[in-house]
């Protein structure tokens, strides 16, 4: 990575859906990154385990391409706290993670490590389809489907999230 991170993202969408075709809720950190691989400390090696314990999505690391955008349901990242569950998406080059809601510690871990996590209640009903291309403006929360006339308003980054995101990590900012 070089330069100042961009406050927007554009990419192909992966809707993390279950057998009923709806966004899956309550995807916990063990489904995102199983505890069998917690000993891995190199971020670059974590990508291959992303969703490794999520029924129907085990091949996600082979299918995803850098810049892709992942959209999932409510309470994403609940369960025991682990940075790996954020870092595995970073390793794959995922451009942004958009969820209906997130577990509290997961949300903090993502924000503090400057990974773009966008909270978008109702995104499951937005009309965005699997494989569409979307653009996301982190500052306004505006998500535009580039393949069909769908515009969705997610929560914009808070001032703190924006500051940490631009600085590259919590450790690079001073409290105000």
Partner 1 sequence: MGMTIIEKIIAAHAGRPVRPGDVVWMDLDVRSARDFGGANVVKNFRRHFPGEPLHDPATTFFTFDCNAPANTIPYAENQRLCRLFAREHGVRVFDVNRGIGSHVLIEEGVVKPGSTVVGTGSHFNIMGAVGAFGQGMGDSDIAYAFRFGRTWFEVPPTVKLVLEGLPGEDVTPRDVTFAVMRRLGSSGALGKAVEIYGPALERFDLSGRITLASQGTETGAVSFILPPSRELLEELGLGAEEAIAADEDAEYIEEIRIDISELEPLAAVPPSPTNIRPVRELSDVKVDAVFLGSCTNGRYEDLAAAAELLRGRKVAEGVNMFVVPATSRVYGRLLEEGLVDVFFRAGAVVSNPGCGGCASGQIGMTGTGEVMVSTSNRNFRGKQGNGLTYLASPVTAACSAVRGFITSKMED
DSSP letter for 174, please: -
Judged by CB under 8 A, the stretch of 45-53, 108-116, 130-138, 146-154 that binds partner 1 is 108-116
Query: φ, ψ for residue 68 (rounded to 5)?
Result: -65, 155
Distance CA 56, CA 43 (A): 24
Question: How many residues at the interface with partner 1, by CB under 8 A?
Answer: 24
Least distance to partner 1, CB of residue 53, Å: 13
Question: Nearer to partner 1 by C-beta: 83 or 126?
Answer: 83
- Cα of first residue to Cα of last residue in the chain, in angstroms, is 27
Of 10, 19, 23, the C-alpha closest to 120 is 23
Member of 7, 43, 166, 170 binding partner 1 (CB under 8 A): 170
53 binds partner 1 (CB under 8 A): no
List the beta bridge partners of residue 71. 15, 98
Euclidean distance between CA atoms 65 and 11, whole angstroms: 9
When asked if residue 108 is in the footprint of partner 1 (CB under 8 A), the reply is yes
Scanning 6-14, 70-78, 125-133, 136-144 for contacts with partner 1 by CB under 8 A, the matching segment is 70-78
State how far the Cα of 15 lies from the Cα of 132, in Å rounded to an integer: 10
Distance CA 104, CA 8 (A): 23
Q: Which of 64, 71, 97, 101 binds partner 1 (CB under 8 A)?
A: 101
CB of 125 to partner 1, least distance (A): 19
Q: With binding defined as CB under 8 A, does residue 125 bind partner 1?
A: no
Q: How far apart are CA 38 and CA 62, in angstroms?
A: 20
The smaller minimum CB distance to partner 1, of residues 64 and 120, is found at 120
Instruction: Give me the residues that bind partner 1 (CB under 8 A), please.
Output: 26, 74-75, 78, 80-81, 83, 101, 103-105, 108-109, 112-113, 158-161, 170-171, 174-176
């Amino acid at each position: 990575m070089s330069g100042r991170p961009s406050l927007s993202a554009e990419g192909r969408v992966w809707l993390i859906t279950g057998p009923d075709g709806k966004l899956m809720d309550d995807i916990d950190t063990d489904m995102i990154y199983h505890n069998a691989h917690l000993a891995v400390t190199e971020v670059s090696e974590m990508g291959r385990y992303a969703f490794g314990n999520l029924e129907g999505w085990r091949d996600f690391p082979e299918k995803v391409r850098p810049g892709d955008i992942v959209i999932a349901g409510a309470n994403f990242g609940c369960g025991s706290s682990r940075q790996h569950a954020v870092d595995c998406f970073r390793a794959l080059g995922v451009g942004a993670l958009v969820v209906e809601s997130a577990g509290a510690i997961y949300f903090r871990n993502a924000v503090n490590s400057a990974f773009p996590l966008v909270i978008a209640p109702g995104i499951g009903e937005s009309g965005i389809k699997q494989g569409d291309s979307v653009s996301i403006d982190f500052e306004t929360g505006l998500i535009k489907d580039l393949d069909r006339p769908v515009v969705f308003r997610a929560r914009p980054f808070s001032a703190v999230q924006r500051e940490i995101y631009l600085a590259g990590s919590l450790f690079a900012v001073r409290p105000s």
